[in-house]
Amino acid sequence: MKIVLATNNPHKLSEMRALFASTSVELLSMSDVGIKKDVIENGKTFTENALIKAEAIAQLTSLPVMADDSGLEVKALGNFPGIYSARFMEGHSYFEKNLEIIRMLQPYEDRSAQFTCVIALCNLTPRPLVFTGIAQGSIDSEPQGSHGFGYDPIFVSSELHQSFGLASEDDKNKVSHRSKAASQVIDYLKLKKLI
């Protein structure tokens, strides 16, 4: 089964391909199917943004299209940066963004946070399908490790008891928000005998 992943982010593509590696799903990039489009994500939630991306690309292909929107939500900061995770401090490195999140948290004792991922799947059923995965954790006092990408070095997973930045790709892929949402997609496709 071929599914187009609506992203221009190579990290996200390789992470998703690893998550679907044990299935018969072949995840295609937008360039694999000749789609060049930047979708404006102007939704107010992860779900809205995932649907905006999936529905926009689904109009350009007859293949099923999967899009995700994800981000870091820090409880004490009112779930900031949330849907703005990628756009927060645009033009700065993630190392700088991570240090800024740590600095913003200094006045607070509560360091709890979560990564949320919403996957939208279009062109498979008359209505889009939506799957949500959440990884619970907390924000470390300093970045740890160089694995993963984005906010991984400051996010300490409640399940792994270490930062995603220190975790191996295999360990992270067992507990990450994206893996939890992806496993729901895989379960659905198996249930419907599509894979």
Q: Average pLDDT over the chain, rounded to whole?
A: 95
Instruction: Determine the average pLDDT of the residues in 177-195.
Output: 95
* CATH class, 2-191 region: alpha beta
Tell me which of 35-39, 112-116, 151-155, 181-185 is least confident: 35-39
Q: How confident is the model at residue 9 (pLDDT cuts 50, 70, 90)?
A: confident
Could you give phi then psi for residue 49, rounded to 5 degrees?
-65, -40
Per-residue pLDDT of 124-170, as tens digits, reads: 999 999 999 999 999 999 999 988 889 999 999 999 999 999 999 88
Q: Which of 68, 69, 140, 152 is catalytic?
A: 69
Angle between helices 177-191 and 10-19 (to 10 degrees): 50
Per-residue pLDDT of 97-110, as tens digits, reads: 999 999 999 999 99
Known active-site residue 69:
yes
Do the beta carbons of residue 129 and residue 121 sit within 8 Å? Answer: yes
Using CA of residue 106, residue 149, residue 19, residue 87, what is the dihedral sign?
positive
- Structural domain boundaries in the chain: 2-191
